[in-house]
Structure 1
């Protein structure tokens, strides 16, 4: 049996821990401290790189950074993920299972929604069941489909029965889309959660204002208010920080990190499994040609991308989504090299020698513009031309991503191999970016999910990585560190592997030292 890897504990260790906690009726080492640090107040102004009129307060529909930040301010999940991406108790104070298929969750008492109503099992049942409705458009439906039944179990617990065993369920329950809403909620023009902040204002594509929840079950947080809005232009976002108009920004250009630090501002690097990927739709021309896909992957100069674009704030990837920090990383899979001559061979065999191929980029997909320019230079040596078509960030995810024949995606890190494969590569994945389908991959996904033997799971995930590397229309050149820049008056910010800005949960943990 393996010891705890960097990305989480051994699955059987967690089951033992969860069962013990449930039987004891306490959460032990997983419980939150009762004492809260002094509350200081003040308004924190935060500018992110992208926002749109598609912004949402419905946890089920969260898909971008702004949504995740608001979700963590206004709602709670049954579990949350710690700095090791392990599931720890949140609204569920204890979790019990004997077979990884039937789970009993004991709910925390004295938790109230922002409208004053207490949390009940009915709220959890409603929140989980709603993802089954196709009309909702839930981004977590692929996980909800693993739930065969969810029902109240007494006055303070729920019982979840899965279609098959999945010892990763506590981690899955900690993802943003599965945050808990009040039973019967259908109107999300305002948020009514149990989270550390109340929603004071929400104007999609413009801004939101969060006000401290004085009745928060974990105790009031330090900040008084958080104003969240977008400044799409990199230079304008940096200038807003330098001038004191904002206190925290995300997606800082790596090229100016040293200059920012030299002026007394902080830079937070978060190393994670997030990536910007080349997306080639396999159901459209030219992606229907496997040779075209292979040629495009060979055009990615990963070393130059890492050094020139990201200034070393990235790790080399190999066209699959499992980073080197994962215990399931396939170290025996040969690294795909940068090889324009090999690309030329594939393009010629695809009948595309001398062709001009449109490739869509946007600032919404981090550094996709710069990555495309490097590929454009390499493409000339490979006998084709890449026509870079830059489109605005507003609307990119709804109008271009997964729709254009060749473009880019931007994937935030996921805590487990099962989650990333389920959401992006299985046949039923809501974000199957390239439209890749493989029945054996789906079968292996189910096998790994229910297997508690770590050696077998490692072998299964290794084969799955090879399949994505060889067959999917996805090119993943790097795992990108996220860079957040912040004012020296902002305290408490630290790296979390779930993503930048403390896994998008900064608001509950930071404070302003002059508030």
Structure 2
């Protein structure tokens, strides 16, 4: 159970590293197709599941769909399709849609589409599916007029606005599909949303997107974008070297140094929202020592996270002392930082009664060595970390 786990601290916030070929013409020009290679292929392309997925599903959904609200760069919830909103008594949320917003087929977006999209998540056939649908089950959804929707919660729920970032679906296209089929099966053909890019081709090996004629804002310079799917990371790199694609969605740390030395490549680095951490089961009867806060703090001081970032991640990471990245609105400098300090770690272990009593290099207590089993993902990167 989650409640039985405690983190000894976030090891690193991972930095995403993308790779792109350097164009020969540096002045922006319109037209052309940008081809990006990814390992794997999209599963559902449904906005419900895209929120909690990573990789190509998440990227495609961000281009195809829009929700009432969205997250900005600092993790704040800001309006997207909504023009404004207000909250009463912590339970009643009223959203006013922006006028003259359109689906990618040119039909106007109305309150009926919002009611339909959220009502799908309340369908009884989804009761056995964990995750987002269950959070919507007890929300009362009302259409007040063509552009106004009211959502009433049974009780206050502070992060509710985050749920309204889920992409909406057009009722006139999907209302006749049973809710469970709509949520659990891939959307046939080119899914229709309200995002800036529309899927115009979809096959087993690629997806092609073109700018939506009905998306507000400036049109992109490119005429189209293609995501090309490869079975694994090595195949993506090979495709890049063979000039089958113009960019990679990510590059692994062992390849960063050699890639950075190429004249035909430009690297871009950005802080991602994910992180790597170690969870300690404080209720594990085989490791009762994890219940001692001094020992947990000592472990944090004993781990040189800067060295992990330098050696295992090729510098692509930052030490995290919080669940939130420093750029996030909820980040606080007041959170205690546990920098690498072997002397402080030794003092805490000593205070907790864990000393090397027999000189074998392993701390022990009551005749038992300090040892435990740690499960890690079965890949080279996580084993290095």
Give the TM-score normalised by structure 1.
0.52
Structure 1 or 2: larger strand share? 2
CA distance in 2, matches of 1:225, 1:331: 46
CA distance in 2, matches of 1:351, 1:123: 66
1:287 CA displacement: 8.4
CA 105–98 in structure 1, closer or farther in 2 if over 3 Å, else same: same
Structure 1 or 2: larger helix share? 1
Secondary structure of the residue aligned to 1:274 is strand
- In structure 2, the residue matched to 1:162 is 153
CA distance in 2, matches of 1:157, 1:103: 11
1:55 CA displacement: 1.6
The higher relative CO (CA closer than 8 Å, separation ≥ 6) is in 2
1:157 CA displacement: 1.1
On the 8 A contact 1:51/1:230 being kept in 2, the answer is: yes
Secondary structure of the residue aligned to 2:60 is helix
Alignment of 1:29-178 (within 5 A): 40-48=30-38, 50-51=39-40, 55-62=43-50, 63-133=53-123, 134-135=126-127, 137=129, 139-141=131-133, 143-144=135-136, 148-165=139-156, 169-174=160-165, 178=166
Secondary structure of the residue aligned to 2:59 is helix
Alignment of 1:452-467 (within 5 A): none
1:305 CA displacement: 0.9
Count the aligned residue pairs: 322
| CA RMSD, Structure 1 to Structure 2 (Å) | 4.0
1:119 CA displacement: 1.8
Q: Can you list the C-alpha shifts for 1:98-150, whole angstroms capped at 9, x where unaligned?
A: 544322211123333344443221211122233345447364346536x6322
Secondary structure of the residue aligned to 1:361 is coil
Alignment of 1:402-481 (within 5 A): none
Give the TM-score normalised by structure 2.
0.67
Secondary structure of the residue aligned to 1:67 is helix
- In structure 1, the residue matched to 2:377 is 361
CA distance in 2, matches of 1:43, 1:102: 45
Stretches of structure 2 that go unaligned for 5 or more consecutive residues are 1-27, 356-361
Stretches of structure 1 that go unaligned for 5 or more consecutive residues are 1-37, 364-368, 375-515
Secondary structure of the residue aligned to 2:121 is helix
Alignment of 1:181-196 (within 5 A): 181-183=169-171, 184=175, 185=177, 186=182, 188-190=187-189, 191-196=191-196
CA 113–235 in structure 1, closer or farther in 2 if over 3 Å, else same: same
CA 350–324 in structure 1, closer or farther in 2 if over 3 Å, else same: farther
On the 8 A contact 1:61/1:137 being kept in 2, the answer is: no
Q: Which moved more, 1:339-348 or 1:251-260?
A: 339-348
CA 234–304 in structure 1, closer or farther in 2 if over 3 Å, else same: farther
CA 98–314 in structure 1, closer or farther in 2 if over 3 Å, else same: same
Structure with larger Rg: 2
Q: Can you list the C-alpha shifts for 1:8-45, whole angstroms capped at 9, x where unaligned?
A: xxxxxxxxxxxxxxxxxxxxxxxxxxxxxx99332221
CA distance in 2, matches of 1:230, 1:352: 51
**Are 2:324 and 1:322 aligned?**
yes
CA 114–351 in structure 1, closer or farther in 2 if over 3 Å, else same: farther
CA 230–289 in structure 1, closer or farther in 2 if over 3 Å, else same: farther
Q: Can you list the C-alpha shifts for 1:380-425, whole angstroms capped at 9, x where unaligned?
A: xxxxxxxxxxxxxxxxxxxxxxxxxxxxxxxxxxxxxxxxxxxxxx
Q: Can you list the C-alpha shifts for 1:52-92, whole angstroms capped at 9, x where unaligned?
A: 5x721111112122111111122111123333333333211
